[in-house]
Amino acid sequence: MRVCILGQGFVASVFGVGLERIRAGEVEPYGVPLARDLPIPIDDIEIVGTFDVDPTKVGHSVAEVARRYLTDVPALLDRVPVFRGVHLGSLDGTPVKAEGIDRDQTLRECVDTLVLEYERLAPDVFVNLCTTERPNPIPDRKALFGAVAKDRRKALTASQFYFYTVLRYARSHGAAFVNCIPTAIANEPALETLAAEAGVPLFGDDGASGATPLTSDLLEHQRQRNRLVTSIAQFNIGGNFDFLTLTDPGRNLAKEKTKSAFVRDVLGYDPPHYMKPTGYLAPLGDRKFVAMHVPYRSFNEAEDEIMVLARINDSPALAGLVVDLVRLARICLDRGVFGAVYPVNAFYMKNPGPAGKPAIARTAAYTELRAWLRHKTTPTVADGGPSGSAAP
């Protein structure tokens, strides 16, 4: 199965390196939830190309980029090229002087250029790992189509534009879209419906890899014991480029939304909470510092509290999930399950699409995902959420 990555950063680099090391038998697939439990072996995953807009990455190989982040980069990744993507202001306000094909081409021309490139690479699955974007709602399909047709660059983020190009490509070659970043794609009803109609399995939004799934499981634990959670504080400080970009308030807002999407869904009420990436500290590198504080009321008004401190390697946590997500995407393509696939999203995504579906505890989502995988032979409306995205 062939995979194309959008955004050749830290997560994409760990993903490529980890895959090759698993293939070579150098490492076990720890951190991949369904490592050996899917009908598609990890060895079948092939990265065919990636897209970026950082001029120091474009035109190089994935191996060359990965060597900036990691040692022991397998030479096989020298064969995988990094192509130039669309910028649409993704990296504005950061130290990177980005250059996309949109510098010299209209949006329509950019669509043609990218779709031609996709047709050459023939990927089955696209994984969006671009820099976190500021929120940008798309009210309806006309807004998306109109922005491309009329070259309205400010109306679209790069992720929304890439999604559009994948819809176009999917007309001639089935493809899935995995959105690991906070931008609403699976949660944007207009886009979700388009995916269902175009036969595109859609996973999103924002990979649930670090403190968020742990917090949601802690809250479920409290709910099951009928304890009253009185507040939640969750701090995240990291030293990678993603944390640097999250010091921009607009980008941070997007993250905050997906990070706190589950509180009311799990508890049934909304205690005061503060959960968002809180700072950038270069010496921490990719190993972020996480602190969590969950005070609660118990029997006879006893006041208790849970505190968690952790150092977590940020990028491998998501890269391990991507190993499952691309294989699940291929399975959905084979089974004709299109649109936002809630049983997958509920486990792997912070803000699981489609819109309106709850962000349940991961322990519960895991059991449901396994049941869905075991029993599912005929797609039903429930597989794709309220819009009924299963193929005939």
Contacting residues toward ligand NAD, per CB under 6 A: 6-12, 51-54, 57, 85-87, 90-91, 96, 129-132, 158, 180-182, 206-207, 209-210, 240-242, 314-315, 317-318
> Of 348, 308, 240, 276, which Cα lies nearest the Cα of 10?
240
CB closer to ligand NAD, 6 vs 341: 6
CB closer to ligand NAD, 218 vs 325: 325
Q: 161, 148 in Cβ contact below 8 A?
A: yes
Shortest gap between Cβ of 31 and ligand NAD (angstroms)?
11
Question: Which position has the token pair 């909470």?
Answer: 273
Shortest gap between Cβ of 300 and ligand NAD (angstroms)?
40
Shortest gap between Cβ of 231 and ligand NAD (angstroms)?
24
CB closer to ligand NAD, 57 vs 327: 57
Omega prior to 205 cis, within 30 of 0: yes
Shortest gap between Cβ of 276 and ligand NAD (angstroms)?
12
CB closer to ligand NAD, 6 vs 328: 6
Name the CA dihedral angle for 279, 280, 286, 291, rounded to a multiple of 10 degrees.
-20
CB closer to ligand NAD, 11 vs 200: 11
Q: How far apart are CA 66 and CA 255, in angstroms?
A: 25
Q: Which residue is nearest to ligand NAD (CB)?
A: 9
Shortest gap between Cβ of 122 and ligand NAD (angstroms)?
20
Shortest gap between Cβ of 171 and ligand NAD (angstroms)?
22
CB closer to ligand NAD, 246 vs 337: 246
CB closer to ligand NAD, 205 vs 220: 205
Residues in contact with 183: Cβ distance below 8 Å, sequence separation at least 6, in sequence order: 128, 132, 133, 135, 136, 157, 159, 160, 205, 254
Shortest gap between Cβ of 9 and ligand NAD (angstroms)?
2
Q: How far apart are CA 19 and CA 127, in angstroms?
A: 15
